[in-house]
Amino acid sequence: MKRVAIIAPDFVPSSLPPAIRVRFLARHLPAFGWQPTVITTDPSFYDWSVDPENEKLLPDALDVVRTRAVPIGLSRRIGIGDIAMRSLWHQWRALRRVCTTHRPDLVFVSVPPYMTMILGRLAHRRFGVPYVIDYIDPWVTDYYKRLPRSERPPKWFLADRLSRMVEPWALRGVAHLVGVSQATTDGVAERYSWLSKSDGTEIPYGAEAADFEYLRAHPRRNPIFSAADGHFHMTYVGRAGSDMEFALRVVFRALRHGLEKNPALFQKLRLWN
């Protein structure tokens, strides 16, 4: 079985999207002939809430290496809160040990957080191990540049300059790109002459059947609403930024229009619920 070292500063027990994506991948890689080792950060260094129960969703045989990071109280003094930057040196040391002892066939780096991608190239240069970068979101982007200045993040200019300097260096020797959509990897490939769209593969987010099996075995009360209150409930699980306001308004206006034009639809929705 081949070995893959996965670099993921954000991992279980975190519930953030990067942690979930790596957890899904790590669970199923052995079925495709890959034995993963996840190099991540000890959760005591996270500055967000975690759910310890997420640990129970990991395969028992998964090898997880947890490193230290610069404490947030110290790094904030110089304006750095990013977990990848705070744990970069510690994870490079862990990756060197893994490359020396386990001799992985591949280094897989999931981003964000983004600065970690340089570890892929460092491992390639030091140990000759090929590396893959997995994009959940693009790093270099003109999204904030198109917004009014008042809506840009406070450190947007510095973050933008950093991304445009570091990303091309980190991708210079990349073996392949993976992304949540083909458009994501295409957008990266279009920026660099040594990459083409064929260098990217789409692996969308999915759902993990084992998570539902765990919930069926460990049921819990829904604290948000009662399914028996006679109302129709529609639940959205995912990102809800201000840029989604237009899409949400369209959805609810369509529902209101449908109910006004066809009141019987309401009864059908209640029956469906």
Strands (E), 30-124: 34-41, 63-67, 106-111
- This prediction's pTM: 0.87
Bridge pairing between strands 106-111 and 176-179: unpaired
pLDDT of residue 271: 46
Which residue in this structure is represented by tokens 């947007």? 156
Q: What are phi and psi of 111, to 5 degrees?
A: -130, 150
- 200-202, strands of its sheet edge to edge: 63-67, 34-41, 2-7, 106-111, 131-135, 176-179, 200-202
Contact call for residues 87 and 109 (beta carbons, < 8 A): no
* pLDDT band (50, 70, 90) for residue 53: very high
- Architecture of the CATH domain 2-211: 3-Layer(aba) Sandwich (3.40)
Residue 100 has pLDDT above 90, yes or no: yes
Instruction: Please name the residue that has the structure tokens 């609810």.
Output: 252
Report which of 133, 2, 148, 7 is spatially closest to residue 64, judged by C-alpha positions.
Answer: 7
Q: Where are the domains of the chain?
A: 2-211, 224-272
pLDDT tens by residue, 220-258: 888 888 888 877 777 777 777 777 888 889 988 988 888
Mean pLDDT calculated for residue range 199-223: 92
> SS3 for 214?
helix
State residue 272's pLDDT score: 46
Tell me which residue of 89, 133, 83 sits closest to 108, measured CA to CA.
133
